[in-house]
A and B are shown apart, each in its own frame.
Chain A
């Protein structure tokens, strides 16, 4: 594309069916403790 560069190839909705295993880290646990940041977490299945 001439006008657009897309930074990611995956879309969120593909995770609806296979997601939700619950093995990922608890979001507040490791570094913040006073906010909630989920978008920076790594999916345990993709590690």
Chain B
């Protein structure tokens, strides 16, 4: 089966051929011609397009709206694209999925829960103010060292290894972070590895010394900020209820500038309390940040701040508005990056990567302060997903096998979704938390993901002019 997605956005007519990944910006006539051809047969081939009966039926379908000459001209171009493997291409990847699933995976990334404690009390925190359904704890140097040893030992020939210092709030255990980076650097030469360290922080404890260390050692730093002061302070207060915005924003601006506005993200979460989140993204851009991420909150229906399906039309409008403004800003030399609108149409990831997804449970594991291993940070604290520990390694390989089995082909909802090679089947933790299985998909998340991809492609079309 072929899979084609057509949509209009910001005046552009866009046709995405899912299995080749080709993206075409077409005029209205050609858009309607492709629509008409799909109505005849979703599986057109170069041969069927050359069949005179196809042209006759198309002329009947569109003859009122366009001249015959124009319709046949566009049909000719559609045939050329099809012959070149850029339209009506078939799924050649499904047989390949077995090979991808069978391949030996190595562990290449760890999320180190360096502190199960936090100095903020964010209302939507999935980590429950850092505690992850458990007790407050800081990772010791010994446990962290064993985690790095485990990573090196299980990484096969993989050279680049990723370690994210996560929490809770990792700056609450900063000396251990520094010591582990030093240990990792020592081990690099011995084992022919390269560590890419990253840190995710709420900024409360950020100071000049920490900033210098981050700039020297961290490949990326994620700085949590929800946007406008009132929005941020409503959701990201201290335990005494005071907001965090005034304390952290000046520190973030200094840090971003000290990194030449590169290799960092200010990263926010929007909830149904700020569905006008484009204002928050633009606020952060106006503060001077050039690398911005803003995630929809993931919460259960009972959470008052959770996104509901009835919020989606409003959210789509916000994404459209943001995309239009970003195009204008880019054209006027004031552009910025928005993580979810970044898309690499030309040099993006290979099919194996797109089929295999985020790698949680196989290539990516989370480590608790006491050294337990989980498939990812979002499963931490759920004993059903306890895979092993840094002393003994993975004791329950069946959990890794279950995650390895998970792909866009194991999920019915992904089968006919145009976005499947951009999200790789979505977040398995979200699927599990909403449906009790990693082989499903969180529908509200999927809807937003599809919209973001449409916007991202529209921006490429606009900026290619």
Contacts and interface: CB of A to CB of B under 8 A. Distances in A.
Nearest to B442: A35
B82 to A, nearest CB: 12
B180 interface: no
B433 to A, nearest CB: 11
Given A4-B26, A26-B109, A40 B427 contact: no
Interface string A5-34: 111111111011011101111111111111
Measured as residues with beta carbon below 8 angstroms from the partner, the interface class of chain B is 35 or more
B322 interface: no
Interface in B363-380: 363-364, 376-378
Contacts of B339: 31-32, 37, 40
B345 A38 contact: no
Contacts of A38: 349, 353-354, 357-358, 421-424
Contacts of B359: 26-27
Interface stretch (B14-22, B40-48, B245-253): B14-22
B363 A26 contact: yes
B425 interface: yes
B103 A20 contact: yes
Contacts of A37: 339-340, 422-423, 449
B77 A40 contact: no
B29 A3 contact: yes
Interface in B286-326: 293, 295-298
B440 to A, nearest CB: 14
Contact of B22 (A6, A19, A39): A6
Contacts of A1: 77, 80
Contacts of B158: 22-23
B436 interface: no
Contacts of A25: 162, 196
Nearest to B16: A7
Contacts of A9: 346
Q: Which of B100, B111, B359, B364 has the most CB of A within 10 A?
A: B359
B350 A8 contact: no
B352 A42 contact: no
B25 A35 contact: no
Given A26-B364, A42-B347, A8 B81 contact: no
Interface residues of A, number: 42
Contacts of B376: 28
Interface in B402-426: 421-426
B422 A7 contact: no
A24 B415 CA distance: 25
A32 B295 contact: yes
Q: Which of B24, B27, B103, B457 has the most CB of A within 10 A?
A: B24
B275 interface: no
B293 A16 contact: no
A47 B347 CA distance: 9
Given A24-B353, A31-B220, A40-B344, 16 more contacts: A2-B77, A3-B29, A19-B350, A22-B106, A23-B159, A26-B109, A30-B198, A34-B126, A35-B445, A36-B427, A38-B349, A39-B343, A39-B349, A39-B354, A40-B343, A42-B349
18 contacts: A4-B26, A5-B24, A7-B25, A8-B345, A10-B21, A13-B85, A16-B350, A20-B353, A26-B363, A33-B295, A35-B427, A36-B424, A36-B426, A38-B349, A39-B343, A39-B348, A39-B453, A41-B344
Interface of B: 19-27, 29-30, 33, 73-74, 77, 80-81, 85-86, 89, 92-93, 96, 100, 103, 105-106, 108-109, 111, 126, 158-160, 162, 164, 166, 196, 198, 200, 220, 222, 265, 267, 269, 293, 295-298, 339-340, 342-354, 357-360, 363-364, 376-378, 421-428, 430, 445, 449, 453, 456-457, 460-461, 464
10 closest Cβ pairs, A-B complex? A19-B350, A39-B422, A20-B352, A15-B350, A12-B21, A3-B30, A40-B342, A26-B109, A8-B345, A11-B20
